[in-house]
A and B are shown apart, each in its own frame.
Chain A
């Protein structure tokens, strides 16, 4: 059911907007082109910072740093009753959405989506966004360099997700 519903959201949004534009006698396509041009300009602004970010993140993923840090965090997770298998996923998710997706699918494949591990990983995956990417894109689009405490606050939220995911899975499903 939800599957079908989610297929409807996107087309409905686009169609309703266009229909409403017609109803209000807006020159729909001229408007569209104007907005699209702005979008193109934004991409131009984003190009340098995105390139830098993606290169650095791709390097980090290939370097084996994740293995090292996962071992560092394992005792802490153990104390908090968090399955250590989800640590790499939680570590990579603030930096790379594609990276955490790879780990997520691995957990689903190896442990099954209805295992405790699969459920915790699902909650983790559904409750976070790629923090570093969002902060970089949002600020570099308008040329702000001093982002103050944005990144810390974002990472703190990610850490909250990591701490609470297992807890809420136990609470609601067991």
Chain B
């Protein structure tokens, strides 16, 4: 994928900069981009180490299993083909729980653990499995119940009721999540059919 995305972004940027006369900004951005990447990675180091550690404790002490049991009907509905893969399902459940609670920082490391476990049961390790597509697409949509960051910012900018957008936000997120899972699943079916035919 990045083999297409990366060149498209770079070439598009160059053409746009030439057209709008912002070549000096683009030149600065090339250097700034490297620095931005390192800053992001440093944040990732602490995030992945911290939550990797917490996840390990949760795993060994059985917290993971408990939460997983609680949510398993829902998760099995979304991932019917891996009903019996307990390890993968547990990590998926933890990621979704963190997302729903609004623990964005915890969701990524837990999600990566889920990807690792899905990779263990993947038949072709260079190609995304059906379950991976659905799982990653879910993570590109927002699953949190309460958009805390947005509400906090609204409050800071003097909103009379920072939470007034909650119903609209919930409905929109839900529809987007539905479209995400549906299109991922439709794509799975379409591609698989082609493969067999």
Would A104 and B153 be within 8 Å (CB), given that A58-B29, A62-B17 are in contact?
Answer: yes
Q: Is the CB of A31 within 8 A of B53?
A: yes
Kindly identify which residue among A9, A42, A59, A160 contacts B103, using a CB–CB cutoff of 8 Å. A9
B128 at the interface (CB under 8 A from A): yes
CB-CB nearest in chain B for A28 = B57
Closest beta carbon of chain A to B172's beta carbon, Å: 4
Would A157 and B40 be within 8 Å (CB), given that A20-B61, A24-B61, A125-B147 are in contact?
Answer: no
- Taking CB atoms and an 8 Å cut-off, the chain B residues in 85-110 that contact chain A are 101-103, 106, 108-109
Interface size of B in residues (CB-CB distance below 8 Å): 108
- Taking CB atoms and an 8 Å cut-off, the chain B residues in 14-32 that contact chain A are 14, 16-17, 19-22, 25-26, 28-30, 32
Chain B residues lying within 8 Å of A156, measured Cβ to Cβ, are 179-180, 183
- Taking CB atoms and an 8 Å cut-off, the chain A residues in 24-77 that contact chain B are 24, 26, 28, 31-40, 42-43, 46-47, 49-65, 67-68
- Taking CB atoms and an 8 Å cut-off, the chain A residues in 101-137 that contact chain B are 104-105, 108-109, 112-114, 118-119, 122-132, 134-137
Closest beta carbon of chain A to B49's beta carbon, Å: 4
Q: Chain A's interface: helix, strand, loop or mixed, by majority?
A: helix
Chain B residues lying within 8 Å of A141, measured Cβ to Cβ, are 112, 115-116
CB-CB nearest in chain A for B113 = A38
CB-CB nearest in chain A for B119 = A142
Q: Is the CB of B142 within 8 A of A150?
A: no
Q: Identify the A interface with B (CB < 8 A).
A: 2-3, 5-6, 9-10, 13-14, 16-18, 20-21, 23-24, 26, 28, 31-40, 42-43, 46-47, 49-65, 67-68, 94-95, 104-105, 108-109, 112-114, 118-119, 122-132, 134-154, 156-158, 160-161, 164-165, 168-169, 171-173
* Nearest 9 pairs of A and B residues by beta carbon: A35-B56, A126-B147, A39-B52, A39-B48, A64-B20, A55-B33, A58-B33, A32-B53, A62-B29
Interface CB pairs A-B, < 8 A, 10: A20-B58, A31-B57, A36-B56, A54-B36, A59-B29, A62-B32, A63-B20, A67-B20, A128-B141, A154-B137
